[in-house]
């Protein structure tokens, strides 16, 4: 197992050591779970009380935390980010895929693979495919004709990319992801459905990550686009002609219907569904399992089925708890009123 000194860690994360620079650290852990020899972090002053009880040997702290008399520490600008870098230091990317092209891979003679590309066993790469430097294609991936993939990408096992799709740099596609399957479009004609040709493609920009077994359909005409930095979780479904904006995050099992446009920095919970042809504004937040049936303005936080502004949904939910009781109360009121009316008649 790797061992680093406090000084080595501080150099890696751009911080300053307060304590013995040659202290040996053997791993990373959260502040409550850390044990002897491990380094942890503290970014939020609210959790400062853990400093007294943590068994960690050292800690990475935010500037704003101030002095830490309890244990040796490294001071940085962003302790959580520095901690993540430390985790990577202790768990460097592994050589899961051997360098070079596995002899069982089938690669068309017109495909261009730049320097450092690794291709695993039983991979298929079609005509005119281009793959950028240092991209790694794990076993059993299938890449059809005219696909372009950028540099430093990872395609985990059994990913498949249909023809003509375009993938940027540093994209990560987890196992079983499908890029470029036909959009779901059929026209009724003489009592049956006729397939609407799906002749568009998918564009995935840089720094996108897509979770296992997620599916991204090609456009009917034009393009389905997943923009820079977007992160999609497992089993997400993106229909034809959808646009997912920059740095938008979509949790597992959410489905976006055709031609819907999702803005930048949107956050969507899991199992959300949206209808087609709507717009989710920049910075909007959609609660888990919401059913979004109309466009959402930028910055709005919506939730529920159907999705409403979150405070409204919360009020309705609270009111629903009183609804069965409300029925009784109204019945009582009706009886009292009837009695009152009858007695008035008697007067």
Residue numbers 142-161 binding its own copies by CB under 8 A: 142, 144-145, 156-158, 160
Asked if residue 251 lies in contact with residue 288, where contact means CB atoms within 8 angstroms, the answer is: yes
Contact between 30 and its own copies per CB under 8 A: yes
- Euclidean distance between CA atoms 50 and 57, whole angstroms: 13
Point out which span in 5-13, 16-24, 26-34, 56-64 binds its own copies (CB under 8 A). Answer: 26-34
CA–CA distance from 148 to each of 93, 163, 201, 247, 347 (Å)? 24, 9, 12, 22, 90
Q: Beta strand pairing status for 160-161 and 178-181?
A: parallel
Asked if residue 139 lies in contact with residue 160, where contact means CB atoms within 8 angstroms, the answer is: no
Tell me which of 31, 87, 111, 310 binds its own copies, using CB under 8 A: 87
Tell me which of 12, 26, 84, 281 binds its own copies, using CB under 8 A: 84
Which position has the token pair 């819907």?
Answer: 260
By beta-carbon proximity to its own copies, the closer residue of 47 and 305 is: 305
Point out which span in 9-17, 51-59, 67-75, 266-274 binds its own copies (CB under 8 A). Answer: 266-274
- Euclidean distance between CA atoms 26 and 327, whole angstroms: 64
Q: Of how many residues is the chain composed?
A: 347
Q: How far is the CB of 62 from its own copies (least distance, A)?
A: 13
- Euclidean distance between CA atoms 59 and 50, whole angstroms: 11
Contact between 278 and its own copies per CB under 8 A: no
Quick check: is 122 catalytic? no
Q: What is the 8-class DSSP label of residue 196?
A: P
Point out which span in 10-18, 63-71, 89-97, 129-137 binds its own copies (CB under 8 A). Answer: 89-97
Supply 203's token pair.
């564009």
For its own copies, the binding residues in 97-136 under the rule CB under 8 A are: 102, 104, 106, 120-122, 124, 126
For its own copies, the binding residues in 38-57 under the rule CB under 8 A are: none
Point out which span in 2-10, 53-61, 64-72, 234-242 binds its own copies (CB under 8 A). Answer: 234-242
For its own copies, the binding residues in 158-187 under the rule CB under 8 A are: 158, 160, 162-163, 172, 174-176, 178, 181-182, 184, 186-187
Asked if residue 281 lies in contact with residue 295, where contact means CB atoms within 8 angstroms, the answer is: yes
Point out which span in 50-58, 60-68, 96-104, 277-285 binds its own copies (CB under 8 A). Answer: 96-104
For its own copies, the binding residues in 204-233 under the rule CB under 8 A are: 207, 209, 211-213, 215, 217, 221, 229, 231, 233
Tell me which of 91, 100, 277, 294 binds its own copies, using CB under 8 A: 91
Give the number of residues in contact with its own copies, rule: CB under 8 A. 106
For its own copies, the binding residues in 315-334 under the rule CB under 8 A are: 315-324, 326-327, 329-330, 333-334
Tell me which of 63, 199, 294, 299 binds its own copies, using CB under 8 A: 199
Catalytic residue among 169, 174, 237, 240: 240
Calculate the CA 274 to chain-centre distance: 17
DSSP string, 278-338: -EEPTT-EE-TT-EE-S-B-TT-EEETTTTEEHHHHHHHHHHHHHHHHHHHHHHHHHHHHH
Tell me which of 54, 135, 224, 253 binds its own copies, using CB under 8 A: 253
Supply 260's token pair.
């819907």
Residues catalogued as catalytic: 240
């Amino acid at each position: 197992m790797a061992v680093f000194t406090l000084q080595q860690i501080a150099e890696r994360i751009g911080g300053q050591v307060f304590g013995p620079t040659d202290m040996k650290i053997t791993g990373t852990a959260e502040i409550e779970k850390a044990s002897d020899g491990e380094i942890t972090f503290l970014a939020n002053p609210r959790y400062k009380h853990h400093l007294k009880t943590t068994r960690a040997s050292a800690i990475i702290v935010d500037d704003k935390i101030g002095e830490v008399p309890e244990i040796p520490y490294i001071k940085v600008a962003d302790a959580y980010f520095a901690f993540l870098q430390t985790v990577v230091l202790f768990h460097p990317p592994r050589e899961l895929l051997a360098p070079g092209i596995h002899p069982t891979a089938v690669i068309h003679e017109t495909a261009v693979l730049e320097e450092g590309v690794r291709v695993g066993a039983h991979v298929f790469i079609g005509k005119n495919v281009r793959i950028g430097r240092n991209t790694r294609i794990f076993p059993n991936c299938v890449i059809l004709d005219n696909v372009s993939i950028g540099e430093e990408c990872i395609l985990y096992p059994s990913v498949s990319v249909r023809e003509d799709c375009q993938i940027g740099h540093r994209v990560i596609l987890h196992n079983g992801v499908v890029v470029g399957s036909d959009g779901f479009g059929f026209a009724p004609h003489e009592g049956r459905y006729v397939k609407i040709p799906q002749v568009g493609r998918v564009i995935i920009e840089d720094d996108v990550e897509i979770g296992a077994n997620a599916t991204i359909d090609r456009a009917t005409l034009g393009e389905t686009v997943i923009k820079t930095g977007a992160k999609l979780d497992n089993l997400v479904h993106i229909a034809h002609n959808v646009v997912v904006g920059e740095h938008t995050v979509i949790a597992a099992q959410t489905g976006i219907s055709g031609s819907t446009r999702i803005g930048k920095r949107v956050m969507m919970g899991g199992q959300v569904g949206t209808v087609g042809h709507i717009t989710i504004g920049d910075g909007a937040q959609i609660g888990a399992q919401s059913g979004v049936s109309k466009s959402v303005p930028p910055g709005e936080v919506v939730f529920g089925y159907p999705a409403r502004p979150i405070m409204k949904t919360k009020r309705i939910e609270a009111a629903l708890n009183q609804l069965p009781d409300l029925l009784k109360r109204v019945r009582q009121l009706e009886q009292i009123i009837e009695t009152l009316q009858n007695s008035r008649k008697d007067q």
